[in-house]
C-alpha cells in the first residue's frame, strides 16, 4: 500500500464509522416526519431515543478517530523517507509545515461536523423532554430543522473529506512519490417481495426493516456475513440489501460467493456502505453487485433502486 492509499484508507474508515452513526440519526427523524410508527405514540419516542444516543456516540467517535495523535501516527510512516534512499539523502519533512497541515485539517473537520450536530441534538432533546408537546406543529418544525441540518451534514462530510485529501496531498507533495495520483470519477410493489437485509448494527437494521415493511415488503434479517449467506441460500429472497463492513464474512465476499453460484446469481444485490460512492461502485462492480447506495441514503432512493431491480428481474 503506497502513501496515498494509507491516508485514503484512514479517511475512508473514519467516513464509514461516522456515516453509520449518522444514518441512525437521519433515519430516526425521517421516519417520524414520514409518519411511520403512527402519531402521538410511545413508538415515536422509542425511535428518537437511539437517534439522540447516536449523536453522542458520533461526537465521541469524532474525538477518538480524528485525534491529532492518531492521524499523525498514520501520516508519520507515509511521510518518512523511502528505505531504498541512501542514508545521506534522507531528510525529515518540515515540522512547521506538518503541524500547520495537521491542525488545519483537524479544526476543519471538527467545526464542520460538530456544528450541525449540535442543532440536531438540541432539537431531538427538546422532543424527548416533552417541551414542545406531543407531535404538535412546533415539534414537527424542530424535527424538520434537524432533518435539514443532517442533510447539510451529509453534504459537508463528502466535501470535507475531499478537501482534507487535497490538503494532505497538496501540503505534503514534496514528501510523496512523484507518480500520478488517480482521479476518481466524480409506487409500492404489486406483491410482497421478500427482501434480505444483512446489516451488523441492530438499530439501523430495525429501522430499515420497519421502513421496508411500511412499503409492503416481507423482510428477512441477518447480523453478519455468514448468517446473511446462509439465509440467502436457504430463504431465496427476491432481493438482498448487503452492508460491506460485516463480522465473519465481509459484504464483498458474500456478494462474490452468491454471484458465482448459478443457483443464486439472479438475486439482485444492493450493497451499502459508509465509504465513498466511487469506492463501493468500483469494488461492487468487481464482485458483481447490481446496485450501490452510500450511507446514509435517502429512503426514496433505496426504494426506487429496489423497484427497478425487481421489475427488471420479472421481465
Q: Does residue 301 share a domain with residue 240?
A: yes
Q: Does residue 56 share a domain with residue 162?
A: yes
- pLDDT reported for residue 221: 97
In a domain? residue 186 = no
- pLDDT reported for residue 92: 46
Q: Does residue 227 share a domain with residue 158?
A: no
Which of 175, 206, 223 lies at the terminal end of a domain, its last residue?
175
CB 137 within 8 A of CB 78: no
Q: Does residue 277 share a domain with residue 129?
A: no
Neighbours of 42 (CB within 10 A): 9
- pLDDT reported for residue 165: 58
Structural domain for 91, as ranges? 3-175
Q: Does residue 123 share a domain with residue 61?
A: yes
List per-residue pLDDT tens for the chain, 315 residues long: 666 677 777 777 777 778 787 888 888 888 887 877 766 677 777 778 888 888 887 777 777 766 667 666 666 655 554 444 454 444 444 555 556 656 666 666 666 677 677 777 777 778 877 777 777 787 778 888 888 777 777 767 767 666 665 665 555 444 444 444 444 454 554 678 999 999 988 888 888 888 899 889 999 999 999 999 999 999 999 999 999 889 999 999 999 999 999 999 999 999 988 766 677 678 778 888 999 887 777 788 899 999 999 998 877
In a domain? residue 55 = yes
CB 31 within 8 A of CB 46: no
User: To 5 degrees, how large is the angle CA 98–CA 99–CA 104?
Assistant: 100
CA dist 209 and 221 (Å) reads 8
Output b/e per residue, 158-182; b: 16+ Cβ within 10 A.
Answer: eebbeebbeebeebbeebbeeeeee
In a domain? residue 51 = yes
In a domain? residue 37 = yes
CA dist 267 and 290 (Å) reads 9
In a domain? residue 187 = no
Neighbours of 125 (CB within 10 A): 14
Query: Percentage helix, strand, coil, to 5, in the chain?
Result: 65, 10, 30
pTM recorded for the entire structure: 0.67
* DSSP code per residue over 30-81: HHHHTTTT-SSSHHHHHHHHHHHHHHHHHHHHHHHHT-HHHHHHHHHHHHSP
- pLDDT reported for residue 197: 97
- pLDDT reported for residue 166: 65
Neighbours of 259 (CB within 10 A): 17
CATH number of residue 251's parent domain: 3.40.50.2300
In a domain? residue 189 = no
In a domain? residue 180 = no
In a domain? residue 102 = yes
- pLDDT reported for residue 104: 64
Q: Does residue 206 share a domain with residue 157?
A: no
Structural domains of the chain, count? 2
177 Cβ partners below 8 Å, 6+ apart?
Answer: 2, 3, 82
Q: Does residue 111 share a domain with residue 222?
A: no
Sign of the four-CA dihedral 90, 96, 101, 105 = positive
Which of 142, 175, 208 lies at the terminal end of a domain, its last residue?
175
- pLDDT reported for residue 180: 44
Q: Does residue 235 share a domain with residue 87?
A: no
CB neighbour class for 35 (10 Å; exposed up to 12, middle 13-18, buried from 19): exposed
Q: Does residue 249 share a domain with residue 143?
A: no
Q: Does residue 167 share a domain with residue 82?
A: yes
Pairing label, strands 218-222, 269-273: unpaired
- pLDDT reported for residue 85: 47
Secondary structure letter of residue 175 according to DSSP: G
Amino acid at each position: 500500500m503506497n502513501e496515498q492509499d494509507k491516508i485514503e484508507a484512514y479517511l475512508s474508515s473514519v467516513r464509514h464509522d461516522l456515516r453509520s452513526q449518522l444514518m441512525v440519526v437521519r433515519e430516526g427523524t425521517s421516519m417520524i416526519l414520514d409518519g411511520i410508527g403512527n402519531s402521538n405514540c410511545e413508538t415515536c419516542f422509542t425511535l428518537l431515543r437511539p437517534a439522540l444516543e447516536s449523536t453522542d456516540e458520533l461526537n465521541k467517535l469524532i474525538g477518538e478517530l480524528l485525534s491529532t495523535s492518531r492521524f499523525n501516527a498514520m501520516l508519520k510512516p507515509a511521510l518518512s523517507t523511502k528505505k531504498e534512499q541512501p542514508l545521506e539523502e534522507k531528510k525529515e519533512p518540515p515540522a512547521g509545515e506538518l503541524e500547520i497541515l495537521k491542525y488545519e485539517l483537524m479544526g476543519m473537520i471538527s467545526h464542520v461536523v460538530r456544528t450541525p450536530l449540535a442543532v440536531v441534538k438540541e432539537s431531538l432533546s427538546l422532543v424527548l423532554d416533552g417541551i414542545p408537546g406531543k407531535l404538535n406543529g412546533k415539534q414537527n418544525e424542530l424535527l424538520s430543522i434537524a432533518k435539514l441540518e443532517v442533510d447539510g451534514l451529509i453534504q459537508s462530510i463528502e466535501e470535507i473529506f475531499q478537501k482534507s485529501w487535497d490538503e494532505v496531498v497538496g501540503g505534503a507533495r514534496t514528501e510523496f512519490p512523484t507518480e500520478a495520483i488517480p482521479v476518481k470519477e466524480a409506487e409500492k410493489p404489486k406483491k410482497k417481495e421478500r427482501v434480505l437485509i444483512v446489516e451488523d448494527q441492530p438499530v439501523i437494521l430495525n429501522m430499515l426493516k420497519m421502513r421496508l415493511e411500511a412499503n409492503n415488503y416481507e423482510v428477512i434479517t441477518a447480523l453478519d456475513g455468514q448468517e446473511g449467506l446462509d439465509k440467502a441460500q436457504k430463504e431465496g429472497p427476491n432481493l438482498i440489501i448487503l452492508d460491506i463492513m460485516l463480522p465473519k464474512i465481509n459484504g464483498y465476499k458474500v456478494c462474490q460467493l452468491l454471484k458465482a453460484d448459478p443457483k443464486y446469481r439472479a438475486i439482485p444485490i444492493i450493497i451499502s456502505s459508509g465509504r465513498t460512492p466511487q469506492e463501493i461502485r468500483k469494488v461492487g462492480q468487481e464482485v458483481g453487485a447490481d446496485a450501490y447506495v452510500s450511507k446514509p441514503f435517502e429512503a426514496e432512493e433505496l426504494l426506487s433502486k429496489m423497484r427497478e431491480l425487481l421489475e427488471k428481474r420479472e421481465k
